Every structure is written in C-alpha cells, then in structure tokens.
Amino acid sequence: MIALLLRLYPARWRTRYGDEFAALLAERPLGPFDVADVLLGAFDAHLHLRGLGSWSEHRRGFPMSLRIGGLAAFAGGALVLTGWVWSGLDPAESDPGIWLYMAGTIALLVGLTGLTAFQARTHPALVWAAFLLPAVGGAVETFGIIAMAVFPDRPLVGDWAGWSFFIVGLLATIAGSVLFAIATYRTGALPRTGAAILGITSAISLISLLVAFGLGGEAQPILIAGFLAFTVGWIVLGLQAIRLDRPSIQPAAGAA
C-alpha cells in the first residue's frame, strides 16, 4: 500500500521526499484517516508543484480532523434518520428521503475516515473492517436503490430483488458501525460513552432487523427501531467528537 500511495505524488516530490516519506508511512499501521490524509497531500503536491499552490493555499480548507469527522458523523446520522422518517411518513413521495439517505451514508463514510486517526494505530484490522463494511455496504445499497427504481419487485440474482440488496448493504453498514464502536471503546480515542452508545444502538439495529426479517410483516415496529437506532448512535458520537475538538479553557486552567 505504501508504494501505491507514494506513486500518487509527483515524481519531483518523490525524488526529494519519497524515501523518508516511505519510512514515515512504515513506522506505524495506516488507517483510513492516514490514507485519506495522504491522498489529500498528494493532490496538494500536484497543485503546488504546478504553480497552482496559491489556489489551495489561500483557500480556506480543513485538514482531516476530529472536527470534520464529528460534523460528518453527526450530519450522516441526521440525514439517514431524516431520510428514513421522510420515506416512512410519505411513501408515495419517497424520492427526497432516498436522496437524503444516500447523502447520509456518504457522510457517515467521511465521518468514519475522519474519526479513525488513533484507533487504527492499535487496531488496524478492526478499523479497516469497520471502514470497508460500510463502504462496500453503501455501494450495495446504492445498487439496490437503483434496482428498486428501475426494476421494482423484479428478482435480479436468484430470488433477490433490489430490496434484498439494499437490506444486505444496510446490514453491512450497521455491522461496520458495531466494529468501529468496539475499536473506539477499546482505544478510548473518543469519549467511551459515545462509543458505547454507538455500539449499543448499532447492535439494537442489527438484532432488530434480523429479528424483523425472521418474523416477516408482523414486526413492523421492530423493523422501524432497527432502521433508526444506529443513526442516533452516530449523532451522539458526532456531537461528542465536535465538542472534543472545540477550544476549551482547560489548558489555561491547568497551566495556572
């Protein structure tokens, strides 16, 4: 992976910094946060070496940080929740709800990337699984949504129609949330209460959905609880991450 990431940088940059940068990347396990940061760094190096640096330098930008991760996690949870509620309240006019849901899923991936900086150092496999499950799940969900719109109720693979793909993708996203919560709780990189809430709500979602599908159409309240619970966990964790990155008077108080 290190060689691949290095190749993204301009040749002139690699000649100067390539060897030491490769040594730096080999120092510790890389997580989604580090990879995203290197991708942004490579993009910046291309702009900078082509004399376009002024565009990127003077533009207000944000490095990948807790703040971005927290905002994205909060927005992702809120958008997915709103999307579900919108679609549930007005099934005949569910298009806006689906778009909100998709935007929320993408935001959750950004949130996962931004919030995994420290967890990946000690639990790289767990963190990568927590990232890849929702990433693949999101793609499967998108395929399912498109399939539902284009071929409603028509089986595509065996007995599986678009709805089945969508649900499998959703289950993968929720399973990724559980893994992320475990990694976060174990490292204490974010508040453990937030990690515990995300883990519990995601587990409730996962179990509710599996139970609801086992019971069939009689279990609509359980199904709704399954759809909604994990979004609350992301909203809470996102808020805690934002609060964590907020300047506080603690350092000054400690210095006195």
Partner 1 sequence: MGLDRVALQTVYIASRYIVKRKKGHLAMVTPLPELGRFAEPALLILVSLSDGPKHGYAIMADVEQGTGRPMGPGTLYAALARLEERGFVEALPPVDRRRPYRLTALGATTVAEQLRELSAFAELGLRRLGQSPG
Residues binding partner 1 (CB under 8 A): 13, 16-17, 19-25, 27-28, 33-34, 36-42, 44-45, 48, 56-66, 117-118, 245, 247-248, 250-252, 254-256
Closer to partner 1 by Cβ: residue 58 or 158? 58
φ, ψ of residue 213 in degrees (nearest 5): -70, -30
* b/e burial code for range 206-234 (CB count within 10 A of at least 16 → b): bebbeebeeeeeebeebbebbbbbbbbbb
Closer to partner 1 by Cβ: residue 49 or 139? 49
Closer to partner 1 by Cβ: residue 44 or 156? 44
Closer to partner 1 by Cβ: residue 55 or 151? 55
CA gyration radius for the chain? Answer: 21
Q: DSSP alpha helices (H): ranges in 8-150?
A: 11-25, 32-49, 53-58, 66-89, 95-114, 119-122, 124-150
Q: How far is the CB of 11 from partner 1 (least distance, A)?
A: 15
Closer to partner 1 by Cβ: residue 92 or 252? 252
**Whole-angstrom distance, CA of residue 223 vs CA of residue 172:** 16
Q: Residue 224 corresponds to which tokens in the numbers above?
A: 């709704």
Query: Cβ of 148: how many Cβ atoms within 10 Å?
Result: 18
